[in-house]
Amino acid sequence: MISYAECSARERIAQLLDTGSFHEWLPPAERLTSPHLAQLGVPSSFDDGVAIGRATLGGLEVFVAAQEGAFMGGGVGEVHGAKLVGLLRRALRDRPAAVLLLAESGGVRLHEANAGLIAVSEVMRAVLDVRAAGVPVVVLIGGANGCFGGMGIVARCADHVVMSDVGRLAMSGPEVIEASHGVEEFDSRDRALVWRTTGGKHRWLTGDCDMLVEDDAAAFRDAAIDAIGASKPVTPATLEAEHALLSARLRDPLAEDGGDDAIALWTHLGIAGADRVPDLDVAAVRALRPA
């Protein structure tokens, strides 16, 4: 078993896709770096923190992007974002079987924050364009840096989200919330609390991810193969269903009282034995979600 969390972006591509099938566009040899980081005297990367290209998965052509969490936390800058947008526009033109986004990102890269914010918005619109064309966009989340900020929104614009139990998906990181509202609001050093609030098991039980897997590259590969063909067009009916689901969460009585414990929410959502979830393995948690 190979830990997906411990792999680099390119190792994940090598593990997930058919052996030797990845063909990279704008590879590091082209030395496409961020001029903004250079101007600030900050080290840059020859791929600006994201690898993109085409490959095959189970014999079918897919497009793939993998964000490198070790470079600026996977933060989206101008070039990084434009590579993602270019890949998605190419998918709109060439119609691969799917687009895989191996997301690992803290969101907008603060060193080029305005460009990053607009870029994330462009990625979001491009994801929705590809989805509307019937090409499934599959987001895989299992890196140490999680999937946060604007990329956490982008992930939920995709057709299908796969997470490992060590993966995290959210908007603002716990450190940001603690800095803003104090340690009583969110103790970012309480690992169990962080995982109950943002982790893969929680997102699986609430339906925020579509598949929960072990921290294993082969499990991610199997889940990605299963997700090909999982196109879910956005329609008024799907949006009404989504609205009803999210509105029901607001009626969680404990949450209304200012309590926000994950176990109470899971119980409210009909999960039996919710208090045991943190101790259960992935297979057991997978079986808990109501059909």
Partner 1 sequence: MDWNLLATRLFGAGHGIVADGDFLQGTAHFDGRPITVIGTTNHASIGVRLALAQARVVLDTLAQHPERPILLLVDTQGQQLRRRDELLGINRAMAHLGASIDLARRRGHRVIGLVYDQALSGGFITSGLIADACHALPEAEIRVMRIPAMARVTKLPEDMLAALSQSNPVFAPGVANYVAMGGVRSLWQGDLAAALREALAHSPREDLRAIDGAARGGRQLAAAVAQRVLDAA
For partner 1, the binding residues in 213-272 under the rule CB under 8 A are 234-236, 239-240, 242-243, 246-247, 249-250, 252, 255, 258, 260, 262, 265
Contact 82, 119 (CB under 8 A): yes
Task: Report d(CA 37, CA 53) in Å as an integer.
Answer: 24
Q: How far is the CB of 80 from partner 1 (least distance, A)?
A: 9
Contact 4, 215 (CB under 8 A): yes
**One of 10, 21, 28, 90 touching partner 1 (CB under 8 A):** 90
Only one of the segments 14-22, 110-118, 223-231, 278-286 lies at the binding site for partner 1 (rule: CB under 8 A); that segment is: 110-118
Q: How far is the CB of 138 from partner 1 (least distance, A)?
A: 15
Phi, psi (5° rounding) for residue 24? -85, 140
Contact string (CB under 8 A) for partner 1, positions 120-159, x = contact = xxx-xxx-x---x----------------xx-xxxxxx--
Q: Which is nearer to partner 1, 20 or 251 (CB)?
A: 251
Q: In angstroms, what CA-CA distances link 148 with 57, 156, 177, 263?
A: 27, 11, 13, 22
Q: Does 52 bind partner 1 (CB under 8 A)?
A: yes
Task: Report d(CA 236, CA 238) in Å as an integer.
Answer: 6
Phi, psi (5° rounding) for residue 288? -80, -25
Only one of the segments 11-19, 172-180, 219-227, 279-287 lies at the binding site for partner 1 (rule: CB under 8 A); that segment is: 172-180
Q: Which is nearer to partner 1, 235 or 283 (CB)?
A: 235
Q: In angstroms, what CA-CA distances link 228 with 139, 243, 282?
A: 12, 26, 22
Q: Does 83 bind partner 1 (CB under 8 A)?
A: yes
Specify the length of the chain in residues: 291
**One of 206, 231, 267, 280 touching partner 1 (CB under 8 A):** 206
Q: Which two tokens stand for residue 153?
A: 């929104």
